[in-house]
């Protein structure tokens, strides 16, 4: 058989039997399932979706031009994203030998401005109270949950674990003091965790976490102080 006839025979065999052809990867079509886009008041969204090629193990998420690789498992993905205030253009890109697939969604985040956020949790079914004293000397706590400068305590958790959250949209300059009180309950020793978040969601964001062990009912202690402004 001439080499030309032999090549033609191979081509016929290959066309009859797909297994003889070089294995083709499916085009990596990307589909973002959530979020759907639009306006969000959430700080974080989970970006989920599918990629048509189940063999792809890494893809890239691009948010407002900033790219991050992430893991893909069996053709699906889930990525927790902290939204920036304002517009967030989210794009997921997947690539293989066959091509580059991409999908995009746009979200406008209307997360309210929060200069100060203090979150307290604890580990027993007791009534622990969060107290925040502002630079003007006013104390925000369960029986005075709104302060003149706009501070607000969300609620009084009386049977365990929290969170109790203090929020302040427009902080005045000065020193803030955070205290915790073991108000009541039969929980015994209680570990209190307090997170202080300043200027959340902005380039000036700053976070600190404090832990304090309370041992008996009636105990009332200063956990931390923080400063806002020059």
Residues of the shown chain interacting with Ca ion in the complex, contacts defined by CB under 5 A: 127, 129, 156-157
Q: Are 150 and 167 in contact (CB under 8 A)?
A: no
CB of 154 to Ca ion, least distance (A): 11
CA 10/CA 20 separation, integer angstroms: 9
Q: Give the CB-nearest residue to Ca ion.
A: 129
Reduced to 3 states (helix: H, G, I; strand: E, B; else coil), residue 5 is helix
Residue (109 or 124) nearer to Ca ion, CB: 124
| Nearest CB to Ca ion, comparing residues 101 and 187 | 187
Q: Do residues 61 and 68 touch, judged by C-beta distance below 8 A?
A: yes
Least distance in Å: CB of 214 to Ca ion? 12
Minimum separation from the CB atom of position 121 to Ca ion (A): 11
> Least separation, in Å, of the C-beta of 196 and Ca ion?
18
| Cross-strand pairs, 179 | 131, 222
User: 118-148 burial, b for 16+ CB within 10 Å, e for fewer?
Assistant: bbbbbbbebbbbbbbbbbeeeebbbeeeebe
Of 135 and 163, which has the nearer Cβ to Ca ion? 163
């Amino acid at each position: 058989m001439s080499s030309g006839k032999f090549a033609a025979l191979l081509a016929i065999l290959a066309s009859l039997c797909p297994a003889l052809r070089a294995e083709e990867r499916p085009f990596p079509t990307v589909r973002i399932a959530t979020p759907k886009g639009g306006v969000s008041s959430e700080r974080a969204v989970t970006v989920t979706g599918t990629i048509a090629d189940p063999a792809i193990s890494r893809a890239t998420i691009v948010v407002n031009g900033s790219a991050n690789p992430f893991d893909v498992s069996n053709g699906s993905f889930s990525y927790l994203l902290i939204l920036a205030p304002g517009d967030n253009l989210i794009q997921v890109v997947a690539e293989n030998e066959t091509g580059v697939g991409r999908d995009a969604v746009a979200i406008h985040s209307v997360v309210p401005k929060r200069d100060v956020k203090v979150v307290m949790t604890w580990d027993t079914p007791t009534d622990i109270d969060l107290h925040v004293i502002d630079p003007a000397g006013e104390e925000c706590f369960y029986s005075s949950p709104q302060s003149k400068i706009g501070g607000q305590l969300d609620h009084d958790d009386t049977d365990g674990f929290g969170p109790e959250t203090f929020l302040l949209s427009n902080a005045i300059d000065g020193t803030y003091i955070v205290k915790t009180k073991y108000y009541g309950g039969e929980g015994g020793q209680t570990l209190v965790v307090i997170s202080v978040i300043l200027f959340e969601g902005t380039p000036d964001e700053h976070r600190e976490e404090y832990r304090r062990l309370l041992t008996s009912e009636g105990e009332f202690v200063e956990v931390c102080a923080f400063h806002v402004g020059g």
